[in-house]
Amino acid sequence: MISVHNLFEAISPELPGEAVEEILRTGAFRMERIVSRGHASPPGFWYDQEADEWVLLVSGSATLRFEEGKPIDLKPGDHLLIPRHVRHRVEKTDPERETVWLAIHLFPQASRSDASSE
Protein backbone atom coordinates (compact mmCIF):
# COMPACT_ATOMS: atom_id res chain seq x y z
CA MET A 1 0.00 0.00 0.00
CA ILE A 2 1.27 3.47 -0.86
CA SER A 3 1.37 5.86 2.08
CA VAL A 4 1.99 9.61 2.19
CA HIS A 5 4.38 11.17 4.69
CA ASN A 6 5.26 14.81 5.42
CA LEU A 7 8.74 16.19 6.17
CA PHE A 8 7.30 18.64 8.71
CA GLU A 9 5.23 16.16 10.74
CA ALA A 10 6.35 14.39 13.91
CA ILE A 11 9.05 16.93 14.79
CA SER A 12 9.57 16.81 18.53
CA PRO A 13 9.30 20.17 20.32
CA GLU A 14 12.31 19.06 22.41
CA LEU A 15 15.50 18.49 20.42
CA PRO A 16 18.40 17.75 22.78
CA GLY A 17 20.43 16.84 19.70
CA GLU A 18 19.92 16.80 15.97
CA ALA A 19 17.14 14.41 14.96
CA VAL A 20 18.12 12.14 12.06
CA GLU A 21 15.48 9.92 10.50
CA GLU A 22 16.10 7.55 7.60
CA ILE A 23 13.33 8.05 5.03
CA LEU A 24 14.41 5.69 2.28
CA ARG A 25 17.26 3.29 1.51
CA THR A 26 18.09 1.53 -1.74
CA GLY A 27 21.24 -0.16 -3.02
CA ALA A 28 22.34 3.20 -4.46
CA PHE A 29 21.51 5.74 -1.73
CA ARG A 30 20.19 6.52 1.76
CA MET A 31 17.83 9.49 2.25
CA GLU A 32 17.51 11.20 5.64
CA ARG A 33 15.48 13.98 7.19
CA ILE A 34 17.62 15.93 9.63
CA VAL A 35 16.08 18.43 12.05
CA SER A 36 18.25 20.95 13.89
CA ARG A 37 17.39 23.80 16.24
CA GLY A 38 20.47 25.77 17.17
CA HIS A 39 22.68 22.72 16.77
CA ALA A 40 26.23 22.74 15.44
CA SER A 41 29.07 20.25 15.09
CA PRO A 42 31.11 19.86 18.28
CA PRO A 43 34.27 22.02 18.47
CA GLY A 44 37.07 20.48 16.43
CA PHE A 45 34.78 17.87 14.82
CA TRP A 46 34.81 17.41 11.04
CA TYR A 47 32.65 15.09 8.95
CA ASP A 48 34.80 12.97 6.61
CA GLN A 49 32.32 10.68 4.88
CA GLU A 50 32.80 7.63 2.67
CA ALA A 51 29.91 8.65 0.37
CA ASP A 52 28.99 11.76 -1.61
CA GLU A 53 26.18 13.66 0.14
CA TRP A 54 23.59 15.86 -1.55
CA VAL A 55 21.96 18.25 0.92
CA LEU A 56 18.85 20.43 0.53
CA LEU A 57 17.94 22.99 3.17
CA VAL A 58 14.13 22.81 3.31
CA SER A 59 13.46 25.30 6.13
CA GLY A 60 15.35 27.40 8.66
CA SER A 61 18.93 28.51 8.09
CA ALA A 62 22.39 27.05 8.51
CA THR A 63 26.05 27.71 7.95
CA LEU A 64 28.40 25.00 6.70
CA ARG A 65 32.16 25.28 6.92
CA PHE A 66 34.55 23.31 4.76
CA GLU A 67 38.10 22.64 5.84
CA GLU A 68 39.22 24.22 2.57
CA GLY A 69 37.24 27.40 1.96
CA LYS A 70 34.96 29.98 3.47
CA PRO A 71 31.72 29.31 5.39
CA ILE A 72 28.58 28.93 3.27
CA ASP A 73 25.29 30.36 4.54
CA LEU A 74 22.25 28.35 3.46
CA LYS A 75 18.63 29.45 3.17
CA PRO A 76 15.55 27.39 2.24
CA GLY A 77 15.88 25.94 -1.24
CA ASP A 78 19.68 25.98 -1.27
CA HIS A 79 21.29 22.63 -2.10
CA LEU A 80 24.79 21.35 -2.72
CA LEU A 81 26.76 18.19 -3.34
CA ILE A 82 29.47 17.45 -0.81
CA PRO A 83 31.96 15.02 -2.39
CA ARG A 84 33.15 12.13 -0.24
CA HIS A 85 36.11 12.86 2.01
CA VAL A 86 35.62 16.63 1.77
CA ARG A 87 35.89 17.57 5.43
CA HIS A 88 33.07 19.80 6.61
CA ARG A 89 31.09 20.78 9.68
CA VAL A 90 27.86 22.53 10.65
CA GLU A 91 28.86 25.89 12.11
CA LYS A 92 25.36 26.91 13.18
CA THR A 93 21.64 26.43 12.63
CA ASP A 94 18.70 28.70 13.46
CA PRO A 95 18.20 28.66 17.25
CA GLU A 96 14.65 30.06 17.05
CA ARG A 97 13.02 27.47 14.80
CA GLU A 98 13.57 24.12 13.16
CA THR A 99 16.08 23.80 10.39
CA VAL A 100 14.96 20.88 8.23
CA TRP A 101 17.46 19.23 5.89
CA LEU A 102 16.99 16.53 3.28
CA ALA A 103 20.22 14.57 2.84
CA ILE A 104 20.94 11.90 0.27
CA HIS A 105 24.05 9.79 0.82
CA LEU A 106 25.13 8.25 -2.50
CA PHE A 107 26.77 4.87 -2.01
CA PRO A 108 30.08 4.46 -3.86
CA GLN A 109 29.70 2.56 -7.10
CA ALA A 110 31.82 -0.43 -8.07
CA SER A 111 35.11 0.62 -9.61
CA ARG A 112 35.37 0.74 -13.40
CA SER A 113 37.71 -2.27 -13.35
CA ASP A 114 35.05 -4.33 -11.56
CA ALA A 115 32.38 -3.25 -14.05
CA SER A 116 34.57 -3.93 -17.09
CA SER A 117 35.27 -7.50 -16.00
CA GLU A 118 31.58 -8.49 -16.21
Is residue 10 included in any domain, yes or no?
Answer: no
Is residue 116 included in any domain, yes or no?
Answer: no
Helix H, strand E, coil C: the string for the chain is CCCCCCCCCCCCCCCCCCEEEEEEECCCEEEEEEEECCCCCCCCCCECCCCEEEEEEEECCEEEEECCCCCEEECCCCEEEECCCCCEEEEEECCCCCEEEEEEEECCCCCHHHHHCC
Is residue 6 included in any domain, yes or no?
Answer: no
CATH number of residue 89's parent domain: 2.60.120.10
pTM equals 0.83
User: pLDDT-derived band of residue 108, with 50, 70 and 90 as boundaries?
Assistant: confident
Domain range for 55 is 19-110
Question: What pLDDT was estimated at residue 17?
Answer: 80
Mean pLDDT of the chain: 89
Is residue 96 included in any domain, yes or no?
Answer: yes
The single-letter code of the amino acid at 53 is E
Is residue 52 included in any domain, yes or no?
Answer: yes
Is residue 30 included in any domain, yes or no?
Answer: yes
Is residue 117 included in any domain, yes or no?
Answer: no
Is residue 13 included in any domain, yes or no?
Answer: no
Number of domains within the chain = 1
